[in-house]
Amino acid sequence: MEARLKIRNTKSLLFKGLIVFLAFLITIPLIVVLLYIIKQGVMQVNWHFLTHVPAPVGEPGGGIANALVGSILMVAVATIIAIPVGILSGIYLSENPSTKLAYYSGLCVDILQGVPSIVIGIVVYLWIVKPAGTFSAISGSVALAIMMLPIVIRSTEQTLRLLPPSLKEAALSLGVPYHRVIIKVIVPCGFSGILSGIMLSVARIIGETAPLLFTALGNSFLSYSMKKPMESLPHLIYTYATSPYDDWHNLAWGASFILLMFVLILNIVTKLITRKWNIQL
């Protein structure tokens, strides 16, 4: 009896050790990559780097201002497009889960989530770039917005579905019309969940290159026009990292570092939001 117990204990100890070891093992490459990007990138970053466009080959200096501005603009416009559409669809799905429309749009959302980003780029190319006859930042924003949608929709839906039905009944029993119940009670109560879904979707798309290849294209000059081609951080990294010049490689490392910081900050802010603004039900 004693001996059997002992063997069991050893077994479970070994098993635990194995799990910890494997968990540790997979984080090592991740940490190595992160440290490498930081090491290579952090030295590039200074005020000049952030405020100047890339220098021609052979000239010293140069920065990523065009890509930084481009990424921020395109992601901002994409977010503005995706938020209303995503939240409203999410509300529809959580409010009418058993309708046919909800079933099929839910299915579409799931499929959309699995569509490779390059395909979305091609679709937007056919829809907007070709008819318009020009690559444009706005078409890039549309492609990014389409990529954000499934995340925003699903997180909104799941957040709202967790709210107790008694909440809605309480508001309705006070004579509050349905649309006000949604706007004033349901959405505010799910606010932190919806917001963190939006933040995560931004973090997800900010590093996307593929949907921008046929839409926003890229631009080695600083541009603020949504109707013209525009540079973005991931696209700049893609073009400069594959170039044969060391200066350009350094630029790409610096841009990678900035991108990494964006994603990191977005994730941290999301965690803080969910913790701080979570409403106790």
Q: Does 172 contact another protein by CB under 8 A? A: yes
Q: Does 188 contact another protein by CB under 8 A? A: yes
When binding is defined by CB under 8 A, the residue of 177, 242, 243, 275 that contacts another protein is 177
Residue numbers 189-208 binding another protein by CB under 8 A = 189, 191
Residue whose token pair is 């109707």: 227
- Considering the complex, what minimum distance in angstroms separates the CB of residue 202 from another protein? 24
Q: Does 167 contact another protein by CB under 8 A? A: yes
Cβ–Cβ contacts within 10 Å for residue 186, how many?
Answer: 20
- Span interacting with another protein, options 16-24, 109-117, 180-188, 241-249, rule CB under 8 A: 180-188
CA 101 to each of CA 106, 107, 157: distance values in angstroms, whole numbers, following the listed order: 8, 10, 15
In whole angstroms, what separates CA 201 from the centre of its chain? Answer: 3
Our CA dihedral for 111, 84, 68, 120, rounded to 10 degrees, sits at: 20
Angle, CA of 22, 25 and 28, to the nearest 5°: 155
Is 233 within 8 Å of 258 (Cβ atoms)? Answer: yes
CA distance 138 to 77: 8
The 117-156 contact track toward another protein, x by CB under 8 A, reads ----------------------------------------
Q: Does 100 contact another protein by CB under 8 A? A: no
- Span interacting with another protein, options 76-84, 177-185, 225-233, 266-274, rule CB under 8 A: 177-185
Contact residues for another protein (CB under 8 A)?
Answer: 164, 166-167, 169-177, 180-181, 184-185, 188-189, 191, 279-281
